[in-house]
Structure 1
Amino acid sequence: MTRLSRFFDLVLIAGFLAGLLFPLLVLRGHSTSVTEKRALAPLPSWPASAEELMTFPSTFEKWFDDHFGGRHRLVQAYHLMALALGSSGTPRVLVGSKGWLYYTDPNDGNNVEDYRRTDPLTPQELERWRLVLETKASWLKSQGIAYLFLVVPNKHTIYPEYYPSRIRVRGERSRLDQFMDAMHGSDVPVMDLREPLRQAKIFGPLYHKTDSHWNALGAALAANLILEKLGSLDPGIHGQRFGVDDFSWHSTPGGDLARMLSLSSLLREVRVPVIRPGRLRCAPKVPEPVLDAEDPDLVITTCRSEGKSAVVFRDSFFTGLRPFFSEHFTRTVYTTALPEIDTLEQFVRMYAPDVVLEERVERYLKVLPKAPDSSSEPYRALLEARRPRALNVP
């Protein structure tokens, strides 16, 4: 064996050992993964019993799998290769055409089957929706409070043209179609934003390409429609209108879907609308304490010295809408708590709003509200409203 061959053998051995030791030498100490939106496995304590000794190897392996050095780069490389092949490395993200990504977590609204219209709501589920919303609306009306139920369209509902062509629509009606049919003829004010947003696409993108949510322009146009509707329910509510000229366009890192692929720095958003300085007349102030111990997502904004107040039961879509909505009210309470009837009563008695707005993204129509308790005050208000009145015949 020559000295040169021995040298290369030693280099090979050293490289092999370095490859084994490198992940241990640069371990990551993070407790959560922003890209994967989950808690990372914690480092297990040294086993103090025979039972803990039996489970120690598996718990240590889970910790190592989540923290070894270079993991993020390897995950990123994997997603890049999958994207180059027109595919996605996670079941939560679907790769469409022209750089569009869609949220498809099967455990969070079952978006793909909703798009295909193969996972409809049953007649019983639709009846549940109608009964609960009518119960809320009837009770709030008896309290002198305006109520509006808002459905935010799924991204694929407004931009189906970029959805993968291999996924075909099979059913005739979507869940939102079913829901609107079921609410037809009801006294509950329900807003369907689909057609106005489809028509507004000519002004520019309304949803992010690499995020599951609408952008600021889409949220602002929705705010126009919401304030107009609320004004018809309560003449004391006035809203300014926002248009395309109120925004400038910027490039930003990719959104939540890009982060799920660990590619937010590479999949940038090229056209992101940002409201021009000074266009919002009232910068919403969030009073302290911002967070409530029992509701960590509770946010209260204050803007005007006089006027109406509102409570908004919302999901993540209302985060982008909040700046445009808050400035029209003296105080707005935002909560992600599910607005079951007993929860609604608590918020009304605590904050005494003039308006209650309940917002749901389209995919969450699959999450049914709890049926009203027949002995509750809101349900009795509904029965009283439905009771036929005797005619006063002279």
Structure 2
Amino acid sequence: MKSNIRNAYYLRIVIFLSIIIIPIFNIDLKSNQVSEIDNRMLMNFEDIFTDSNDSRSIFNNASSYLNDRIGFRTSMVSLYTNGMDMLFDELVHPSYEYGKEGHIYLKLPETAVNLKFQEVFSSFIKDFQTYCNEREIKFLYTLEPNKSTIYPEYLPEGYNRSTENLDYFIELLEGKDINYLSNVDTLLNAKEDPEYKDILLYNKEYDAGHWNETGAIVGFTAIIDRLNELDNRVGRFDITNFEPEEYINETLVASNFVINEETTNYNLKEYNIEYIEDYEDEIIRHENFRYFTHYKNLTNTEGPRLLIFAGSYFNNKEKFITGNFSEVMKIHNYRNVIDYEYYINIYNPDIVLFESTEYTNTGYHYPINDMEEKTYIKSINNYNNLIENNFVYVDNKNIQKSGINITNFVVPIESDDLLYAYVDINNRILDCKINVVEDNLYVEFSIITSELENIDSFDLYFISKDEERYQQINIIYNY
């Protein structure tokens, strides 16, 4: 009898330890993995040390890495989440939680006030705007709201929502004279408009992280109106180009959590848009944030070219904006926007639209160090009456190029007095990146390969550190 009790006791211990140990031994160590239930990239090991000077941050990141990567995570979370909802009417999920009257919100941690980030981010946007305007490119920044900002009345009982980050950020945008649109105000105003009084701009349950397509139409109408003020070729949003269709959503976005909610989508009546795949495999993007689209409008060839840096609020919503432009190129904004010169060199847009969302305006998506260390490149047109001088040596014989549809140039140089570098190709000035690799200095730039046809040379221009001297070097190049 005692033996049976002892064996049962040991069996419980083995089962308990197996439940703990087996998931740990099946931890996912692969890089660049996507979570099906969180709709995001899982944290990579190197991300643990993003802020190596902050031990608390490293500890929190390590904990997040383990939570992300532990074995059988998707199955365990789905089973537990649906079970808790059926038994206790509780939504226990890594991304979502219940508010009042069955409304679902993204997970609602206590707001971490970070005024330093708002200052650095707004200064980065200001420099970005100046960069574009100096090159005769129109610029607009747009801010999208959280669902909790538009519908705070359905938040969980007792949740203390802070708007300190948002309020201070908008104050900075105003004070720095940034051309911006707050769709926070746009959606709050629409919510009170009789036309939308009884229509939700975010779904009650489905996709709590983004506006629904009705909310998107409100937001995109405001965006297009503002872009039309910058360039009257844009025109206005025309709802008659779309027809509504009702959908039933059976699970939350990127989750196996069961729902049954009807939502309205809007489909183009005539699809005159061509998707361009030519550059998708070559254009450089951050390994964790790779969303990319490029469309040509077959019926509006005279419209302006629009380059967008945007997040998931714009995913699958390009249909609301493509009709107003000859081309629309969209790059995932997180981290990629730091290298805006690279994308502008390639796409040569008429207008740049930079969008971010209230809940993503944090140091993870737009690292403070990267923004603070960003080199702002003045336009070559700012310089007049410079003295020609030799302070750069270019090794013509070792110029490297790569790529098929996009050609990337790497030009080895020698100089200890170089501030900026530019290249003139077919009377178009591109800004060059100055890169140091193992004490070797390089000038780098990328351009669409078709722009190199029928040319056999290009000119490099260099500006000295004192900004009083320049040097021009002709590079012989056989296409």
Mapped to 2, the partners of 1:345 and 1:146 lie a distance apart of 14
Matched, 1:227 2:233: no
Q: Which of 308, 314, 324 in structure 2 is aligned with 1:312?
A: 308
Give TM-score, length-normalised by structure 2: 0.57
- Please state which structure has a larger fraction of its residues in helix: 1
Q: Which amino acid aligns with 2:72?
A: D
Structure 1 unaligned residues grouped into runs of 5+: 1-30, 40-62, 105-110, 385-394
The match for 1:335 is 331
The match for 1:120 is 113
Q: Which amino acid aligns with 2:199?
A: G
Structure 1 residues 241-260: aligned runs within 5 Å: 241-242=238-239, 246-256=243-253, 259=255
Q: Which of 63, 66, 74 in structure 1 is aligned with 2:72?
A: 66
Q: Which of 131, 154, 164 in structure 2 is aligned with 1:162?
A: 154
The match for 1:273 is 264
Structure 1 residues 116-265: aligned runs within 5 Å: 119-122=112-115, 124-169=116-161, 171=162, 173-201=163-191, 202=197, 204-208=199-203, 209-211=205-207, 212-242=209-239, 246-256=243-253, 259=255, 262-263=256-257
Structure 2 unaligned residues grouped into runs of 5+: 1-32, 43-68, 192-196, 385-479
Q: Which amino acid aligns with 1:299?
A: T
The match for 1:321 is 317
Contact kept, 8 Å, 2:77 with 2:93, in 1: the verdict is no
For residue 127 of structure 1, report the CA deviation from its aligned partner: 2.7
Distance 1:151 1:341, change over 3 A: closer
For residue 36 of structure 1, report the CA deviation from its aligned partner: 5.3
The match for 2:277 is 288
The DSSP-based 3-state class of the residue aligned with 1:147 is strand
The match for 2:292 is 298
For residue 374 of structure 1, report the CA deviation from its aligned partner: 7.7
Distance 1:249 1:129, change over 3 A: same
Using CA pairs under 8 Å that are at least 6 residues apart, name the structure with larger relative contact order, 1 or 2. 1
Distance 1:380 1:100, change over 3 A: farther
Mapped to 1, the partners of 2:186 and 2:90 lie a distance apart of 32
Contact kept, 8 Å, 2:333 with 2:355, in 1: the verdict is no
Q: Which amino acid aligns with 2:306?
A: A
The match for 2:371 is 371
Distance 1:383 1:254, change over 3 A: farther
Mapped to 2, the partners of 1:381 and 1:97 lie a distance apart of 57
The match for 2:36 is 34
Distance 1:97 1:288, change over 3 A: same
Deviations, residues 118-165 of structure 1 (Å, cap 9, x unaligned): x2222x333312321121111211111111111110111112122111
Deviations, residues 29-68 of structure 1 (Å, cap 9, x unaligned): xx976335578xxxxxxxxxxxxxxxxxxxxxxx99529x
Contact kept, 8 Å, 1:282 with 1:327, in 2: the verdict is no
For residue 228 of structure 1, report the CA deviation from its aligned partner: 0.5
Contact kept, 8 Å, 2:309 with 2:337, in 1: the verdict is no
Distance 1:125 1:66, change over 3 A: closer
Q: Which amino acid aligns with 1:168?
A: N
The match for 2:425 is none
For residue 377 of structure 1, report the CA deviation from its aligned partner: 1.6
Give TM-score, length-normalised by structure 1: 0.68
Q: Which of 90, 98, 102 in structure 2 is aligned with 1:99?
A: 102
Percentage of identical aligned residues: 19
Mapped to 1, the partners of 2:215 and 2:78 lie a distance apart of 30
Contact kept, 8 Å, 1:220 with 1:321, in 2: the verdict is no
Contact kept, 8 Å, 1:219 with 1:320, in 2: the verdict is no
For residue 334 of structure 1, report the CA deviation from its aligned partner: 0.7
Contact kept, 8 Å, 1:136 with 1:378, in 2: the verdict is no
- Please state which structure has a larger fraction of its residues in strand: 2
Contact kept, 8 Å, 1:135 with 1:378, in 2: the verdict is no
- Is the deviation greater in 284-293 or in 190-199? 284-293
Mapped to 2, the partners of 1:32 and 1:187 lie a distance apart of 38
Structure 1 residues 345-364: aligned runs within 5 Å: 345-364=341-360
Q: Which of 80, 83, 86 in structure 1 is aligned with 2:85?
A: 83
Mapped to 2, the partners of 1:36 and 1:223 lie a distance apart of 26
Distance 1:197 1:241, change over 3 A: farther
Q: Which amino acid aligns with 1:377?
A: I
Mapped to 2, the partners of 1:121 and 1:274 lie a distance apart of 36
The DSSP-based 3-state class of the residue aligned with 1:345 is helix
Deviations, residues 289-308 of structure 1 (Å, cap 9, x unaligned): 47334334221011132210
The DSSP-based 3-state class of the residue aligned with 1:184 is helix
Q: How many residues align?
A: 311
The DSSP-based 3-state class of the residue aligned with 2:259 is coil
Mapped to 2, the partners of 1:36 and 1:320 lie a distance apart of 18
Contact kept, 8 Å, 2:249 with 2:259, in 1: the verdict is no
Contact kept, 8 Å, 2:145 with 2:358, in 1: the verdict is yes
